[in-house]
Amino acid sequence: MIVVMSKSATQAEIEHMVQRVKELGLKPHVITGVERTVIAAVGEEFTGVKETLETGPAVDEVLPILAPYKRASRELKPERTEVRAGSLSVGGKRIGVIAGPCSVENEEQIMSSARAVKAAGATALRGGAFKPRTSPYSFQGLKEKGLELLAAARQETGLAIVTEVLATEDVALVAKYADVLQIGARNMQNYRLLEAVGQAGRPVLLKRGPAATLEELLLAAEYILDAGNPDVMLCERGIRTFEAHTRFTLPLATVIYLHQKTHLPVVVDPSHGTGHTYMVPEMSSASVAAGADGLILEVHPDPQHAMSDGYQSLNPEQFAQTMALCRKVASALGKEM
Ligand code: PEP
Ligand code: MN
């Protein structure tokens, strides 16, 4: 519910209504506007709540939030959210570019990746230290050693670090090194993990599960927001369909739909979304054209010898070309990149 207070409501009346919301078992969220204050009452709604709140002092009207997700919805917050983490900003005028290898492999690999993506204009460095691999026999990541290498790359380049956290018990460790916690597609509906990153004090990049609807993605984001973390970026990384010419099917209408439904910024991952290096440049510029607030791209100094996802990684030169292509589209749209 959204409790719209009258323009003349006093601080005491607002506080009274905040108290009423709590007594009804709902969480109040006060939004102070220029003209008036509104109080969002979030939680499980039961019949009679609207009528009860309507009788409060200085209440103009009580409106239901129609979307099942509340804090994520534009009904509650119409203006866009800009998420900032060190050098990275996503959701403002400038398109954020998170680039780097799928996995952190060794010092030389992550340092040369960081230098290359920085030189070409990336605003953050990606690299997995904890890797979710389909097979238990595949490379699982360097774990804490990988996090240390990412921190060293940040030290040298100034790039913010985006890296995945796979399990609740690793959240504190990963948050110690990372600027942004990535929740991978396979964990989008791991609700305990979502709650944990909601409390970790770091922005979150939440990737869409390959079989999740956008409503499920928004409800997953709601877990993080409801745990007290307002800094959530949503990421479209492709879904499972019957189509086999790409690794996943990358729907760009997602960006447009999400912008209508939520104030949270939207990042697109053309690397996982296509699974083929040759498709990444155009799908990146198409993402920018669709209005994406950010891109996340896999870039490796030597893709042929990458320990994971080399077949979809750009080399530094291809990344620089992709940036140049995307910048043209961005500038046509009045955005910076
Ligand atoms: C990744 O970013 O390397 C990754 C594992 O992505 P996803 O969770 O989207 O598969
Ligand atoms: Mn990958």
How much is the pLDDT for 297?
99
Structure-block tokens of residue 244? 């086999």
Residue 242's Cα: distance from chain center in Å? 27
* Residue 185 CB–ligand 1 contact under 6 Å: yes
* Residue 273 CB–ligand 1 contact under 6 Å: no
Residue corresponding to tokens 């953050």: 124
* Residue 300 CB–ligand 1 contact under 6 Å: no
Residue corresponding to tokens 């607002």: 14
How much is the pLDDT for 44?
86
Question: What is the gyration radius of the CA atoms in the chain, in angstroms?
Answer: 21
How much is the pLDDT for 46?
85
Cα separation, 272 vs 275, whole angstroms: 5
Residue burial 74-109, b: 16+ Cβ < 10 Å; e: rest: bbbbeeebbbebebbbbbbebbbbbbbbbbbbeeeb
Q: What is the mean pLDDT of each run of 10 residues along the chain (337 residues)?
A: 95 96 94 90 89 95 93 93 98 97 98 98 98 95 98 98 98 98 98 98 98 98 96 98 97 98 98 98 98 98 98 98 98 96
Residues with CB under 5 A from ligand 2 (ion): 102, 309
**On the CB side of 288, how many CA atoms lie within 13 Å of its CA?**
29
For a mutational test of ligand 1's pocket, the pick from 207, 239, 246, 313, i.e. the residue with the most ligand atoms closer than 8 A to its C-beta, is: 207
- pTM comes to 0.95
* Shortest-distance Cα residue to atom 9 of ligand 1: 185
Cα separation, 170 vs 157, whole angstroms: 25
